[in-house]
Structure 1
Amino acid sequence: MPQHNAARLKAASKYLVILAALLVLIGWILNTPPGLLGKADAIGYAVCHRIDARSFHIGDRPLPLCARCSGMYLAAVAGLAYQMVFARKRSGAPHWSVIIPLALFVLAFGIDGTNSYLYLIKETYPGALARIPNLYIPNNTLRLLTGSGMGLGIAAMLFPAFNQTIWKDAGDRRVFPHLKAFAPLFGLTLLLDLLVLTESSIVLYPAAFISAGGVLILLTMVYSMIWVMLMQQENEFTRFSQLWLALVAGFTIAMLQIAAIDLLRFWLTGAWGGFSLG
């Protein structure tokens, strides 16, 4: 009898997770701007300032994420996809020869972000922090490149952590055992950045959806890992088909976070656009 009740409870929990996912998703869809780009904007709205001057544009419409965030999430998606192909179930952290450039990318992200934020304060409030000089005039090219470096770092650390948590048959081999293994991904990311810098709508349309989707992918992975740990199911899976409930739960929590931030920001600003200067 206890085993029968446990089985019924387990089955009921699956239906509750699915129901919660549907309710959250439908509620979010009905209360966010219309159209696919509108939904992508609503995702970006939860994680990015979306300042017009600091974003790339499709015509007069800014992308769902600013230049820095676009680079970060595009590179993160590229990094995860690359590792799915070439390091599928590896769980070892990158070799130090890869960690060093990744650390430099993170440092560049911090320096450029701080310099850009300082410039924003001076631009918004004339006279403020006038005694602190800017290192250089920030621009969207540097924002895109430094964001991409951070995205590669996120992907290189999140992917093996996910594998360590999820897979029963995860291998101990490093995801990037040497710099040579990382170089093609770095080159691919640079190519993607160069394509974005053309500002062609043919490039920016898919970039808009991939970067916004990247937000969901990263959050879903993180929350799925947390779900698995809370359910005490670490290292119990060998196939993605066995992982569907954790992924749905992670996706639901990710959507709840996005919806909550969307609601709070809209309540504070009364508009779906990016923050305005001045």
Structure 2
Amino acid sequence: MQALKRGWREQKNMAAKPSMPPPWIIILSLLLYLALLAGLVLLPGPSLLERLRWLDSGICAQMATHTFYPGGEPLPLCARNTGIYLGFIVSLALLHITGKGHAQQLPPGRLCAILVSGVILLALDGLNSLALDLGLPHLYQPHNLLRLASGLVTGLALAALSLPIINRLLWCEYSEQRSISSWSALFPFIFMLIICFFAVASQNIVVLYPLALLSTAGLLSALSIVNLLVIITISKREETFEHYLQLLPLFSIALLLSIGEMLILAQLKLALLHALGL
């Protein structure tokens, strides 16, 4: 079956493989990323943290009681979202560092069950917290550390379970690698999530900017990947790519779309709050 799939991919993509982008497009894309980062940090007006909070505000409720305060400053995302997107970007980076960046197979069944259980726990914790906020009966007293922990596990699950699906849509070459192949392969990810957990829980001012930037980068990455897959599907270029550089122009468009979408959502949220008199 796998041999038939590989053969089908080769026949499909012999005439459809995109060429490498010219150097000027690569340079332009890199300059775009530098300009966005420079504008975020150096433009006069609001501080970097205020800009990150505004950018993330359309996605996250940013409730004061659900947020960590390293050095007395609130993070741009609430505890649960900080965990999700920090866990996602760290896990995604670790998958690439460990050579699993092109993996197209899901983890074994038991590992998948554990990862999905983490997502279910996050949902249950969220429902329990919502019940308390609405004055309804709830199972236990919510806590930001629980929100953070369940978010980190969910971020790992999103990275490990979505990467194989994404890779099947991108790459012309088939890979039988699993994103996480065994229990022992899971340990580095657990170790990194524990480090992230204590970094956030410490609320030390030293981790304020790294956490704010990484969690927002995780949110932007997740949204940009969705936009990228939509662009590739619409342009009918699935399973035609060989190198990351071939994706760079399309990913740049996806990133700009993501920033625009987040800014629109932030403005809509502000308008809604004004309309409600909040």
Q: Same fold (TM over 0.5)?
A: yes
- Give the deviation of 1:170 after TM superposition: 4.0
- Give the deviation of 1:247 after TM superposition: 0.2
Q: 1:110 maps to what in 2? A: 123
Q: 2:78 maps to what in 1? A: 66
Q: Deviations over 1:108-147 (max 9, x none)?
A: 101111111111122xxxxxx3xxx321110111010011
Identity of aligned residues (%): 26
- Give the deviation of 1:32 after TM superposition: 11
C-alpha distance in structure 1 between counterparts of 2:174 and 2:133, whole Å: 45
- Give the deviation of 1:70 after TM superposition: 0.5
C-alpha distance in structure 2 between counterparts of 1:78 and 1:32, whole Å: 30
Task: Check conservation: 1:75, 1:152, Cα contact below 8 A.
Answer: yes
C-alpha distance in structure 2 between counterparts of 1:268 and 1:72, whole Å: 26
Equivalent residues in 2 for 1:171-250 (5 A)? 171-250=175-254
C-alpha distance in structure 2 between counterparts of 1:254 and 1:33, whole Å: 23
Q: 1:4 maps to what in 2? A: none
- Give the deviation of 1:59 after TM superposition: 3.6
C-alpha distance in structure 2 between counterparts of 1:39 and 1:172, whole Å: 42
C-alpha distance in structure 2 between counterparts of 1:105 and 1:80, whole Å: 17
TM-score (norm. length: structure 2): 0.80
SS of 1:254's partner is helix
C-alpha distance in structure 1 between counterparts of 2:244 and 2:207, whole Å: 31
Q: Which runs of 4+ in 1 moved over 3 A?
A: none
- Give the deviation of 1:35 after TM superposition: 2.5
Unmatched 5+ stretches in structure 2: 1-21
Task: Check conservation: 2:58, 2:268, Cα contact below 8 A.
Answer: no
Specify the code of the residue in structure 2 equivalent to 1:251: L
Q: Deviations over 1:151-183 (max 9, x none)?
A: 111111221122111112241221112222112
SS of 1:227's partner is helix
Specify the code of the residue in structure 1 equivalent to 2:122: F
The answer to whether structure 1 residue 251 and structure 2 residue 255 are counterparts is yes
C-alpha distance in structure 2 between counterparts of 1:113 and 1:196, whole Å: 19
Q: Deviations over 1:251-274 (max 9, x none)?
A: 122122202101101112249xxx
The answer to whether structure 1 residue 48 and structure 2 residue 60 are counterparts is yes
Q: 2:50 maps to what in 1? A: 38
SS of 2:257's partner is helix
TM-score (norm. length: structure 1): 0.80
- Give the deviation of 1:61 after TM superposition: 2.5
SS of 2:58's partner is helix
C-alpha distance in structure 2 between counterparts of 1:63 and 1:181, whole Å: 31
C-alpha distance in structure 2 between counterparts of 1:232 and 1:162, whole Å: 15
Q: 1:3 maps to what in 2? A: none
Q: Size of the alignment, in residue pairs?
A: 245
Task: Check conservation: 2:171, 2:242, Cα contact below 8 A.
Answer: yes
Q: Deviations over 1:165-208 (max 9, x none)?
A: 11122412211122221121012101210121111111232111
Q: Deviations over 1:21-46 (max 9, x none)?
A: 99xx79x97x9972321221122202
Q: Deviations over 1:75-110 (max 9, x none)?
A: 001110011112021111111121111111011101
Q: 2:14 maps to what in 1? A: none
The answer to whether structure 1 residue 134 and structure 2 residue 138 are counterparts is yes
SS of 1:92's partner is coil
- Give the deviation of 1:231 after TM superposition: 0.6
Q: 2:273 maps to what in 1? A: 269
Specify the code of the residue in structure 2 equivalent to 1:184: P
